[in-house]
Amino acid sequence: MTDNQMLYTVEDHVATITFNRPEQQNTISGSMLKRFSDLLLQADADADVRAIIITGSGKFFCAGLDLRGSDITDNLSSERSTPTTLDLKNTPPTVLHNLDTPTIAALNGSAAGYGMDLALGCDIRIMADTAKLAAAFTARGVVPESGGTWILPRLIGWSRASEIIFTGKTLSAAESEDMGLVSHVVNNNEVGERASMLAKEIAGRAPLAVQASKRMMRMGMNETFNDHVHHVFLQLLPLFQSKDFAEGMASFMEKREAEFKGR
């Protein structure tokens, strides 16, 4: 059952999505792809959710797509005509990129191929010191099909991204941290705790402002500076009218912790 292969919980304003196929190294079957997209959209639409953690059970984060699953291989070997257009708007990498809710990849173990792309698609990555990132695409005769060719050069520059992608390189946790691919490397039994602490810290801030900040950062990657500051100003106007803005100012003046409601 797909429901058992993708676990979903919400606690303290934090949604956690867990790949739960430890015997298969948390590889993603075709039936899991829609479920994953649905869970991401469910969390993003839930006003009670202010941060999303994505992680895996067992020793792996996600070892990529399960090409042994008939629901994927059947499509690859199908004799049906190939469409000239693709509808990718509801696939996990596209959904993940367009979420306004902050996302944290808790890399409890190694991420390879599709799993690496998904981790890179999150806003923040926390990695176990024993985990690895494996860009095994060209070694399998494919390209990073899930956003890696767009994300990786933006994270670490063209030259380093080229070396990793062209050679299908596997990166250790230390190498990943040195390149800036992950924010923190911790002991493998501390990944969940560190991710939870960070998610709760984010959840303690004004959610409308956090979501708007993420939206502006995403837009800014493809805008001129002048266009961007104009859009930021327009984003500020409704925030000035929010109850959370009033609470933020009041808590500052009264020297107390703010209690944000997302309104």
Same domain, 67 and 184: yes
Q: Is the full-model pTM beyond 0.85? A: yes
Output the domain CATH number for residue 104. Answer: 3.90.226.10
| 235, 215 Cβ separation under 8 angstroms | yes
Q: How many domains does the chain have?
A: 2
Same domain, 230 and 126: no
pLDDT in tens, 9-49: 999 999 999 999 999 999 998 889 999 999 999 999 999 99
Answer whether residue 167 is part of any domain: yes
Same domain, 248 and 225: yes
Answer whether residue 262 is part of any domain: no
| pLDDT tens digits in sequence order for the chain, 263 residues long | 457 999 999 999 999 999 999 999 999 988 899 999 999 999 999 999 999 999 999 999 999 898 775 454 444 444 555 665 666 778 899 999 999 999 999 999 999 999 999 999 999 999 999 999 999 888 788 878 788 889 999 999 999 999 999 999 999 999 999 999 999 999 989 999 999 999 999 999 999 999 999 999 999 988 999 999 999 999 999 999 999 999 899 999 998 888 999 89
CA gap 132, 113 in Å, rounded: 11
Same domain, 196 and 239: no
Same domain, 247 and 169: no
Answer whether residue 259 is part of any domain: no
In terms of residue numbers, what domain contains 214?
207-253
